[in-house]
Structure 1
Amino acid sequence: MPNADVIIVGSGIAALITAYYLHEDKNVMIFTKSKKEQSNSWLAQGGVAAVVSKEDDWHSHYEDTVVAGCHHNDQRAVEILVQEGPKQIQELINKGFRFDTDERGHLQLGKEGAHQFRRILHAGGDATGRKLVSFLLKQLVDKVTVVEEEMVLELLIKNGRCVGIKTKKKSGEAACYYASATVIATGGCGSIYAFSSNASTVTGDGIALAYRAGAEIVDMEFIQFHPTMLYINGKAVGLISEAVRGEGAILVTEDGRKVMESIHPQKDLAPRDVVARTIHDEVLQGNNVYLDISMIANFSHRFPTISQLCRSYGIDIESGKLPVVPGAHFLMGGIKTDVNGRTSVAGLYAVGEAACTGVHGANRLASNSLLEGIVFGKRLAEILRNGVQENHFVETCKYTENHFMKKLTKTLPSKQQIQTRMMQYVGIVRNESGLECAKQWFEQFSIPDLLSVDLNELTIEEITIINMIIIGWMITTSALKRTESRGGHYRTDYPSMDKNWKGTRIVRTKEELFVNV
């Protein structure tokens, strides 16, 4: 059977950085269920946050990250992110990557919400993610094996250790691949919501894979909603980067009232959860919300991707107003890992948005996501490059062997039904009755049965829907357990933060399923 030293599931920035720093020493295979360019990283407009100016320092970046994360962050993870980030940025520059510069050749630094200083590096204006992914893919040509349009069905577990993956092609053909180390880098789960900035393929598959294999999952209730999705005919059709507000754009109602004027000291650059809830409240009151960009000179040149998006939907950017609505953007929780990517299952690693080191806390600071993939991807590569060692991070999860033998007996819902349910009951604002309604709806499909169903005879569409149900149930159950409001998790019945709260973790054992707080 096919073998590799390291198998990486996913093709975004975290996956590619890991592969980039591994390929000279290890045989690496990358798997993606669609095309290698179809990822959230490819779509990322904002940029990379890093301390590269003399006026700034890592303590400030640390403070901004923790404040945005509502002090739910892992302090060690944040220190690593903000201290190692500038070094990694310089290394990318030394390797030939070009960030945007001014006419004197100095790095252009933008500002985004909740940052004290200008520290956001961009490439290609608002095409930073695409530029980074393209650069890394070019570096990896003929150096790693990239397998496209082949979905990972399950992780192969033997004697409590992950030893590889089982995949399925669109044709239905299945295959097994074995490796000393398997890395989940599949991104988050934004596309289980009706309004989302994520690629349509980002449905939480990697997290569901890890959960079925017995890995510990944490903080799934913390979903960040980006405040400004372009809103056309009742649909969120694309992201309008926070960098637009960083350059001076403001949120207004149809009659010109400034939406954020009296809401937060940082006004339009308040943390994303605050801005998203404010827009949400305006919409509930029947008000349309717009992003006024009239004060930004040369908007088309500064934001070419956004300008093209607007033109494709017939929006005249010269009018100065773009209709917006919040949409699911980023998962702060995920597969629990240490700062080196190790999970609670031996041989299984996770990095990027699919992983939860605790670096983002309850709400991610703008432009820390690409930075996370760069910093923690390299750290994971260093661990794997030095040899796959016995995992000292293994927790007490007992479920280790694959026993996926049950037949699917329930009629599955459509993707749209799941997305609508999540948006309605587990969205920007939550309460107990809505969460209970969503929980009961998900549990009618029998979560234990879905976790042990035999996937081999199912279609890729059916497997994706099963993963969406499992992820939706995780988020809902975690949100019910957290009886406080913090960051991306806001409950109208518990509107304040509780300083004594820690995290929610979801653990699977062979005998039972439970959420532990």
Structure 2
Amino acid sequence: MSGTVCLWLRRDLSTRFTSIRAARSERLRFFNPFHLFRQDMNWLEHEPLSADVVVVGGGGAGLRAAYEAAAQGASTILVLKGRLTRSGATAFGVAELAGFSVPDGAVDPLDSPDVHFADIMRVGQGCNDERLVRILVDEAISAAHDLERWGIQFVMDPNTGKPLVAMGDFASRPRNRKIYHHGKPITEVLAQEIAKLGVVVLEHNAVLGLLKSDAGIEGVLCADENGVVREVRAGATVLATGGAGQLFERSLMPPDITGDGYAWGYRNGAKLVNMEFMQAGFGTVRPSLNIVLPWYWALLPRFTDRDGQDILDGVLPPDVEAAHAMKTKVKHYPFSTSDASRWLEIAAKRAIDEQRVPDSGSFLLDLRNVDQTLLPPGGDLSVMWPISKDWMKRKRMDVDAQPLEIGLFGHSINGGMVINDDCETTVPNLLAVGETAGGPYGADRLGGNMLLTCQVFGRRAGRRAAELGMSRRGLALRTERPELRHLALGGGSEDVREVKRRVRAAMSQHVLIIRSAKSLDSASQELGAIRESVLADRFRIDTPAQAVEMNEAWNLLDVGEIMVAAASIRRETRGSHFRSDFPQTDSEWDCPVQVELRGDRPNARKAPFAPR
């Protein structure tokens, strides 16, 4: 393949099969000895593709891994559900600005990689992998230089003419460079770079599961929306599928972030860590989706239900004032029990549980007539506030004219698969990167670290995958396809979309923000009942799109059970994990929780990271 040509395999790839499907559907119907699919569906199998490396996921981490693998000379295939630069979490336009942590002391000479390291370990509260954190901070500056070399434009401070550097969530020093339109510019520039290296890109292909042999993982099985199934065989497989934001009824993640990588790794023996820790917080409900960024709270807006009743009334402890909770919230977006800002999300969740708000579960955040002198002139907040207002106007939300309608949203997962320094999981030939991997974060996560993590560990994952994949060239191994018993059914009458809806309802009611033994037990029972309803063949699968929908729902079921298992065993409150029945932090839990599959259930246990 030419080194300057990128092969794009889009949704129209399978149109050449249309006449074949009509004339020879019986003979070409997809079939395998394990009866993975309903046998009356016209699945068609395409010839397998082979490469040294296959990367699943087209966000910042996946693109960086694909770039690095190809740059090392490895033949590389990138598989993603949607379109490049338009799908996945990195390119999702959920915020006007994204942060990228660079501990170079550009604004604060007291900042350094060592200070950055101390910040991450402090907010991780004993649950980080120290070695991975050290790698992250030591390679952060070079990762930023890579972005600048590729032409990424950081937001400039009009007062200094230099890049704007802000304080990130939970940070002790300002080190957050800002990028317009979240991380989309990163995906756009990396898409150009992988094209130059000849990476094969399969768009609109949903991975159904992993291929495996006695030697480990051997690639993936994927299907497009027209029912064309193919194996992508590779010496090394990199999962960069993001988190599981779609576990919740409201999510600040795009629809394709359904916990796929977690579920595939879990079923194939991978260990997962810190899955009870997640980011949740406020976002706008309508007319458009957007994060309620932390500096909004610096203006002390009114926070009420539709009847004008203050959401915080009767919830705050006697020693906490509303203004203090809001000013503390300026320090970080996500919910955290580490300070008084916790009462904002706790009050909102209690109002929902007590049915004090409409069925939509929304509140009003009124920024009209706020005192803008609360934003220090010349500071980073005063620079970012007009950018935020302009962005919101473009999304049909004028904060000067009407209150924002906001709700509680699930967002990122702080955990993932256990990895080593080069992103290898506990399963041979399987690597994980970005939000799919665990270890760099713990109970809370510094703002600006996720885009950074995707670049630092994407580089490491791609290089190690290339080395591993090229070393395994020519091996003739007998591979097995994944067990997909949930797709062998589909003869029922209920809408397959109901599976996701029920999972989200259970997780939102029982696991989001406020947790207890009672709520977690309810979540476990409801998720188990949903799984039984799928296996009882109650849902209808007639099309490839419905099969993919069911596969995503099945992945969410697994990830929901993993999260519930981890949250149940952690009988304390720490960071983003709030147990109303164990409201204090317990030093006995200054360590991560690992989860792995035992039989057909998740097994959770304390498991400190091994010293390296």
Which bracket does the TM-score occupy, shorter chain normalised?
A: 0.7 to 0.9
Corresponding residue number in structure 1 for 2:609: none
Structure 2 Cα separation of the partners of residues 192 and 353 of structure 1: 15
Residue 346 of structure 1: CA displacement?
0.5
Which has the larger displacement, 402-411 or 216-225?
402-411
The answer as to 2:354 corresponding to 1:307 is no
Contact 1:277 1:429 (8 Å CA) reproduced: no
Corresponding residue number in structure 2 for 1:273: 335
Structure 1 Cα separation of the partners of residues 285 and 219 of structure 2: 42
The answer as to 2:54 corresponding to 1:7 is yes
Residue 241 of structure 1: CA displacement?
3.2
- Matched ranges for 1:337-376 at <5 A: 337-356=419-438, 358-376=439-457
Residue 63 of structure 1: CA displacement?
2.4
In the TM superposition, what whole-angstrom CA distance separates every residue of 1:452-485 from its partner, at most 9, and x where no partner exists?
xxx9987111111111111111111221121111
Which has the larger displacement, 269-278 or 371-380?
269-278
Corresponding residue number in structure 2 for 1:27: 75
SS of residue in 2 equivalent to 1:273: coil
The alignment yields a C-alpha RMSD, in angstroms, of 3.1
Which has the larger displacement, 439-448 or 296-305?
296-305
The answer as to 2:90 corresponding to 1:41 is yes
Corresponding residue number in structure 2 for 1:395: none
**Given the superposition, is the C-alpha separation of residues 6 and 229 from structure 1 closer, same or farther in structure 2, using an over 3 Å criterion?**
same
Residue 489 of structure 1: CA displacement?
1.4
**Candidates 575, 588, 596, aligned match of 1:487:** 575
What one-letter code is carried by the residue in structure 2 that aligns with 1:106? K
In the TM superposition, what whole-angstrom CA distance separates every residue of 1:31-53 from its partner, at most 9, and x where no partner exists?
11122221111126322122131
Corresponding residue number in structure 2 for 1:168: 223
Residue 159 of structure 1: CA displacement?
0.6
In the TM superposition, what whole-angstrom CA distance separates every residue of 1:109-141 from its partner, at most 9, and x where no partner exists?
1223322222111123xx141111112112222
**Given the superposition, is the C-alpha separation of residues 73 and 260 from structure 1 closer, same or farther in structure 2, using an over 3 Å criterion?**
farther
The answer as to 2:237 corresponding to 1:182 is yes
The answer as to 2:472 corresponding to 1:420 is no
SS of residue in 1 equivalent to 2:174: coil
**Deviation above 6 Å: which 4+ runs of structure 1?**
255-259, 409-412, 447-450, 455-458
Structure 1 Cα separation of the partners of residues 430 and 290 of structure 2: 34
**Candidates 575, 587, 596, aligned match of 1:507:** 596
Residue 281 of structure 1: CA displacement?
3.0
Corresponding residue number in structure 2 for 1:327: 409
**Given the superposition, is the C-alpha separation of residues 14 and 299 from structure 1 closer, same or farther in structure 2, using an over 3 Å criterion?**
closer
Structure 2 Cα separation of the partners of residues 276 and 197 of structure 1: 20
SS of residue in 2 equivalent to 1:442: helix
Structure 2 Cα separation of the partners of residues 90 and 243 of structure 1: 28
SS of residue in 2 equivalent to 1:505: strand
Bigger Rg over Cα: 2
Structure 2 Cα separation of the partners of residues 304 and 180 of structure 1: 49
**Given the superposition, is the C-alpha separation of residues 309 and 200 from structure 1 closer, same or farther in structure 2, using an over 3 Å criterion?**
farther
Corresponding residue number in structure 2 for 1:253: 303
SS of residue in 2 equivalent to 1:414: helix
Contact 1:261 1:267 (8 Å CA) reproduced: no
Contact 1:222 1:363 (8 Å CA) reproduced: yes
The answer as to 2:413 corresponding to 1:316 is no
Query: Which structure 2 residue ranges, 5 or more long, are not aligned?
Result: 1-47, 313-319, 358-362, 376-381, 473-478, 536-540, 606-612
Structure 1 Cα separation of the partners of residues 471 and 525 of structure 2: 40
Residue 155 of structure 1: CA displacement?
0.4
**Candidates 307, 331, 347, aligned match of 1:282:** 347
Contact 2:243 2:413 (8 Å CA) reproduced: yes
Residue 378 of structure 1: CA displacement?
1.1
Structure 1 Cα separation of the partners of residues 79 and 52 of structure 2: 14
Corresponding residue number in structure 2 for 1:436: 521
- Matched ranges for 1:136-151 at <5 A: 136-142=190-196, 143-151=198-206
SS of residue in 1 equivalent to 2:596: strand
In the TM superposition, what whole-angstrom CA distance separates every residue of 1:254-297 from its partner, at most 9, and x where no partner exists?
48999753349845315732377422233335584526485266
Corresponding residue number in structure 2 for 1:396: none
Query: Which structure 1 residue ranges, 5 or more long, are not aligned?
Result: 392-399
